[in-house]
Amino acid sequence: MLARRLSALCIRSVSGKQLVYAEYGDPTKVVKLQTIDLNDTPPSGQVHVKWIASPINPADLNTLQGVYPIKPPLPAVGGSEGFGRVEKLGDGVKTLKVGDHVLPSRSGLGIWRTDGYHKETDLFQIDKTLPLEASASLQVNPPTAYRMLKDFVDLKEGDTIIQNGANSSVGKAAIQICRIRGIRSINIVRKRDNMAAFISSLKALGANEVITEDQLVKEYRGKIKDVRLALNCVGGRSALLLATTLGHGGCMVTYGGMSKQPLQVPTGPLIFKDIRLVGFWMSRWYEDQKNLEERKRMNADLTSWIKSGEFRPPTFEKRNLEHYKEALEAAATSFVKKQLFIL
Amino acid sequence: MLARRLSALCIRSVSGKQLVYAEYGDPTKVVKLQTIDLNDTPPSGQVHVKWIASPINPADLNTLQGVYPIKPPLPAVGGSEGFGRVEKLGDGVKTLKVGDHVLPSRSGLGIWRTDGYHKETDLFQIDKTLPLEASASLQVNPPTAYRMLKDFVDLKEGDTIIQNGANSSVGKAAIQICRIRGIRSINIVRKRDNMAAFISSLKALGANEVITEDQLVKEYRGKIKDVRLALNCVGGRSALLLATTLGHGGCMVTYGGMSKQPLQVPTGPLIFKDIRLVGFWMSRWYEDQKNLEERKRMNADLTSWIKSGEFRPPTFEKRNLEHYKEALEAAATSFVKKQLFIL
């Protein structure tokens, strides 16, 4: 008995921190910083991951607000994207080894924490020589752009796509993947100060055209047609304008609704030009186990493009967990400076 | 030489009438009744069809107005649906014989005429024991309903579909095909006088629910869900309401836009419930030669349902060609009394 008690006392524990929430609501109010102690040894089939960096994505905020379709059982750890390093293996773990870099294999794992024990099937191994920002953002935005450009229309070199919200993380990833694949991209953006510099920055990524909605309606009226794919994250009238540029058999993929307005779609092209409208949700794609091999291929493509310098990952404002309130506040008010927790 | 001339003079000719238009515009103004003479013998590979009956569909009026995507070379004979009887065969005709009843095999053939010579591949043989109204309407509306209920979602017995414009010819065909196939139909209609009698008439065809948009928004709010297929011929807000009833993986098929408003589609369900929106155009389906065998199957189904009394073809107001102005006028102003030329 005494031996057992001593042994129990002698088990070292891992001490860490995490951002948890026990109710849905205003992210800056419901999220709390918590100290945690984990047993030194992960349970069988699980690994100890030291999480390294995790961004704050809009979907994370919506999850905290309780308005996202993913609702983890509460209390839960916030965050769903990020990468970490495998520290220790539980019994029976076969696919990972200490030192490996990993992403979550699915959404909703809770990544805003320094340490976690996770099933090996909940993790996806990545190249450990990738830069920090690239690793931390390899799960959500570039894959969303990659899949939308691959899964709905068989795009060939020289084909044209159009997108709104072109300055979003997905938008900038789409611009670059189009450039790499030889696809022309027409990018619809909002009017802003320093328009010339802003246009230059997107053209530097590979954008063929960067225009405002207003220009699309006036100067470019009727000139943009036979577009094969439209990527829509705005909705409302903006979606209508994209749809009118689609050629026969074209497709509009919706992955966001920033305007909070229902999409508008012209009836004629839908019927007579055989266009179709679909939605895309990266989280659902990851849930489907039959996509695992294709995810490895996608990851290999993105990794090689990042390493060759062809694909630039997003830039971030880095924060540590202690400054989570400022980080959440900044993430909620600005799409421009993306927030990244360094864990 | 003399013998030849005499022979030419002795060729009997077929005299008939047709409704032609040489310019696009107001149907009652651009359409003219014309007498025609055809050689007694159809050219090689063609057959002489005595057309028997042909409806005036909305698409026919739009074609005359020049606002439809099908633009036959002018001058052209109006009308695109109807049936006739094979009178005489040209050389080399193999698939048809005298006395066969035929439909056009594609749109735009020009059916508002008593007589025509047509390539055998432009004709599609039907059962000659079908009633006149059924034969005359076997190409457009019931097939549109049939295909939309078959080609987009794998509907099983007990599944639910929703449609607006349920009192249209396609709508009433869809109600009946659903009843025959054991599919529940929820039918959205406009408020009108004699609502109870109107509801009864659609329920007599097999409608499970007949409700107004207003009822869908109020009494039925949130109660209709997990609908697998929505058929939309209205657009605007009505499409939005249909879309909100779709369950995971559901599909909305648009085949008309009576409100002349762009469709509205909620963003959330598109992304998170994986719903999709497509258009359907019967004419395009017929253009695709690989659909010929499937057309034969569809035609066999519809024919057997009509003959067994399970499927009621539309009722028509019958007109002869001489009264074409009144018929065109009536077709343009009322969707209720469909017009049928008796040729």
Q: What is the pLDDT of residue B9?
A: 52
**CB contact, 8 Å: B4 with chain A?**
no
Q: What is the pLDDT of residue A39?
A: 85
- A10: pLDDT strictly greater than 60: no
Condensed to tens digits (0 to 9), the pLDDT of residues B81-91 reads: 999 999 999 99
What distance in Å separates the CA atoms of residue B247 and residue B149, rounded to the nearest whole number? 16
- B141: pLDDT strictly greater than 80: yes
What average pLDDT does range A159-165 have in this prediction? 97
**CB contact, 8 Å: A277 with chain B?**
yes
Q: Where are the alpha helices (DSSP H) in chain A?
A: 2-10, 27-30, 58-65, 132-136, 141-148, 169-181, 195-205, 213-217, 236-244, 267-272, 282-287, 292-307, 324-333
What distance in Å separates the CA atoms of residue B284 and residue A266, rounded to the nearest whole number? 18
Q: What is the pLDDT of residue A194?
A: 93
pLDDT band at B256 (very low <50, low <70, confident <90, very high): very high
Q: Which 3 state secondary structure label does DSSP give A272?
A: helix
Q: What is the pLDDT of residue A292?
A: 95
Q: What is the pLDDT of residue A13?
A: 78
Q: What is the pLDDT of residue B39?
A: 84
- A270: pLDDT strictly greater than 60: yes
Residue A68 designated active-site: yes
Closest CA to B266 of A261, A237, A233: A261
Condensed to tens digits (0 to 9), the pLDDT of residues B147-176 reads: 999 999 999 999 999 999 999 999 999 999
What average pLDDT does range B1-26 have in this prediction? 74
Share of chain B above pLDDT 70, in %: 96
Mean pLDDT of chain B: 94
What distance in Å separates the CA atoms of residue A30 and residue A339, rounded to the nearest whole number? 18
**Do the Cβ atoms of A257 and B280 come within 8 Å?**
no
Rg (CA), chain B: 22
CB A313 within 8 A of CB A205: no
pLDDT band at A132 (very low <50, low <70, confident <90, very high): very high
Condensed to tens digits (0 to 9), the pLDDT of residues B264-312 reads: 999 999 999 999 999 999 999 999 999 999 999 999 999 999 999 999 9
Share of chain B above pLDDT 90, in %: 88
pTM: 0.91
pLDDT band at A11 (very low <50, low <70, confident <90, very high): low
**CB contact, 8 Å: A284 with chain B?**
yes
Condensed to tens digits (0 to 9), the pLDDT of residues B122-138 reads: 999 999 999 999 999 99
**Do the Cβ atoms of B281 and A262 come within 8 Å?**
no
More confidently predicted of B114 and A7: B114
- A1: pLDDT strictly greater than 60: no
More confidently predicted of A10 and B200: B200
**Do the Cβ atoms of B256 and A267 come within 8 Å?**
yes
More confidently predicted of B8 and B221: B221
What distance in Å separates the CA atoms of residue A164 and residue A234, rounded to the nearest whole number? 7
Measured between CB atoms, which of B262, B271, B277 is closest to A276? B277
**CB contact, 8 Å: B281 with chain A?**
yes
**Do the Cβ atoms of B279 and A276 come within 8 Å?**
yes
Q: What is the pLDDT of residue A7?
A: 47
pLDDT band at A220 (very low <50, low <70, confident <90, very high): confident
What ipTM was reported for this prediction? 0.88
Give the residue on A whose Cα is nearest the Cα of B233.
A267
Q: What secondary structure letter does DSSP report for A18?
A: E
Which chain A positions have a beta carbon within 8 Å of B266's beta carbon?
262-263
Q: What is the pLDDT of residue B209?
A: 97
CB B209 within 8 A of CB B186: yes
- A9: pLDDT strictly greater than 80: no
**CB contact, 8 Å: B233 with chain A?**
no
**CB contact, 8 Å: A144 with chain B?**
no
Q: What is the pLDDT of residue B334?
A: 75
Closest CA to A176 of A142, A209, A148, A153: A142
Active-site residue identified among A21, A68, A117, A324: A68
CB pairs under 8 A between A and B: 93
To the nearest whole angstrom, how far is the Cα of A153 from the nearest Cα of chain B? 14
**Do the Cβ atoms of A279 and B266 come within 8 Å?**
no
Q: What is the pLDDT of residue B7?
A: 47
pLDDT band at B340 (very low <50, low <70, confident <90, very high): very high
